[in-house]
Amino acid sequence: MKIGVTGCAGRMGKMLLNRILVNKDCELAGGSERRESGFIGRDIGEIIGMRPLNLTVTAYPFELFEVSDAVIDFTAPAATVEHAKIAAETGKILVTGTTGLTAEQMDFLKKCAEKTVIVASPNMSIGVNLLFSLVKKAAAILDPSYDIEIVEMHHRNKADAPSGTALGLGKAAAEGRQVSLSDTARYERHGNTGIRPTGEIGFAALRGGDVVGDHTVVFAGSGERIELTHKASSREIFADGAIRAALWGQGKEKNLYTMSDVLELN
């Protein structure tokens, strides 16, 4: 399977390039970057510190999709929307782990998925997606007397908060309780906040250092506390999960899927 990478010179992009090259089930089709990037026209092998691969970085994503069976995208919401449009036009598989997508942008991805296979998840890690499933099940079993708090920590350069994964965990908890996250979420507390409302799902975002990603969901009851935690120590887990999703997408019906579908957790 030929896999391309958008944003190939970024931190996740480089990781994806390396992991694709060592995966026997696929080969690297190429990579793209923003037009203003200084990496345009350079050999991809040079970017990741190895021998030349005779694959140069393109400024035109359409070119990348044309030579790929699937494209993996860890970029930014606006770019991901454009890549989904190209995937629909070319009929190629798109796997995206971009976070911060609005409801409107997700609706656009769903529309594009009427013409191709798109796998979109806020986190491509197998462990995190198992955590989504466990949180949903725990929330369904534990009644609202168990307060739910979601704590996440990432490196100092992360732009969005709470993280997409934290929001995904909140959504899983809300689904388990059969409530709407938008009606129950509490994203900040400051000053005299009063008594904690029953059923609230709280979020706390920490930023610092080079933390890849830590997430903990706390179910705090009277006399006991249950904590479900995932800690990422390497971005390899996100890259390997995305590659697994791309390979899984071969031959699937046109639709918008998540990693839960890939891992058969639903």
Which one is catalytic: 2, 115, 158, 252?
A: 158
Which one is catalytic: 14, 83, 154, 171?
A: 154
In this structure, the dihedral spanned by the alpha carbons of residues 221, 222, 224 and 229, taken in order and rounded to 10 degrees, is 20
Q: Is 158 a catalytic residue?
A: yes
- By annotation, the residues acting in catalysis are 154, 158
